Amino acid sequence: MKNIKKLLYLFLGATLVMSCVEDDTTFELNGDGPNLAGFANSTQTLAGIASGDSYTRKVVMKLIGPTVEAFQGDVSVSVARDEASTAIEGTHFSFPSNSLVLKRDNNYIGELPITLLTDGIVAPLDVAPILYLKVTDAEGENVVGNGKKIKITLNYLCNSELAGDYSAAYTYVHPDLGTSTGTYTDTWTEVSSGTYRTTRVGHWTPAQLGGTPGMTIQDVCDEIIIGEQNLVDLYSNLVDDKGIHGSRDPLTGTITVDYKICASYCREYNVVYTKL
């Protein structure tokens, strides 16, 4: 019996070692695979005030893969609207160019311009148009398109003036530690039309988190949206309102939002902002 147990342990140990070796070997073999050209993010929001003006925004594209560091030539990438889109070219958006060149001197990162059209649009829309973009062609030695689409939400905004200082009262729910409350002073800075960056996120101070302080918030005609984003642009934890958007009371100016910060589990926050 002891010998059987010893053989069993040896077999299990060998299996674990082989598993590790197989993983490593698979990784090394990937070095012979192609480099992939595509979008840097899977989702993005483009926004502008529905005033009849046009707004040119940028979508980041990049090249990744096993031989990128040794890669020398340029890479040409072309994109197109996917049929799953509800956004209409010529009504909601246009392409100044539907292709770009990823260059080595910019680490094979480039920005594709997209123009948001607002002429004839009356905000707010009942449903925001969605633009799905796909890579249709990628030219370069040992380069292919990564096959992944990006979902771009086109938000049409009303005039927004939410920049300033706020008193924030929050309720924080931790799945293991329970519920706690607190207050702090926050500052919202407008970074583009209807889009703001706070100085605080969650229950932490900026010094405790590091990174880029706060979170990005968008005002779509008094509907307050906290789209998916990495915690302070540093951690893999995702900040998101999960589609349950907040609101601004047009009479009092009070803003109420609910959002979650999730990794292996989610922390939940309800925050009421009162302008100072």
pLDDT digits (tens, 9 = 90+) for 25-45: 233 334 568 999 999 999 999
Report pLDDT for 32. Answer: 65
72 lies in the same domain as 153: yes
pLDDT band, residue 193 (cuts 50/70/90): confident
From 157, 189, 216, give the residue that closes a domain.
Answer: 157
257: pLDDT strictly greater than 80: yes
134 lies in the same domain as 174: no
Report pLDDT for 10. Answer: 41
184 lies in the same domain as 253: yes
From 157, 176, 195, give the residue that closes a domain.
Answer: 157
244 lies in the same domain as 197: yes
40 lies in the same domain as 142: yes
What's the CATH number where 149 sits?
2.60.40.2030
Domain count, the chain: 2
Q: Read off the pLDDT of residues 60-99 as tens digits, 9 standing for 90 and up.
A: 999 999 988 888 889 999 999 999 999 999 999 999 999 9
What average pLDDT score do residues 260-271 get? Answer: 97
What average pLDDT score do residues 47-72 get? Answer: 91
4 phi and psi angles, rounded to 5 deg: -65, -45
- CA angle, 83 then 80 then 243, to 5°: 60
Average pLDDT, the chain: 88
40 lies in the same domain as 64: yes
- Which of 18-22, 193-197, 204-208 tops mean pLDDT? 204-208
Domain that holds residue 116: 35-157
What's the CATH number where 262 sits?
2.40.128
Ranges 1-10, 108-117, 169-178, 256-265: which has the least confidence: 1-10
3: pLDDT strictly greater than 80: no
Q: Is residue 21 part of a domain?
A: no
CA-CA distance, 15 to 12, in Å (whole number)? 5
99 lies in the same domain as 138: yes
171 lies in the same domain as 116: no
**Which one is predicted more confidently, 28 or 171?**
171
20: pLDDT strictly greater than 70: no
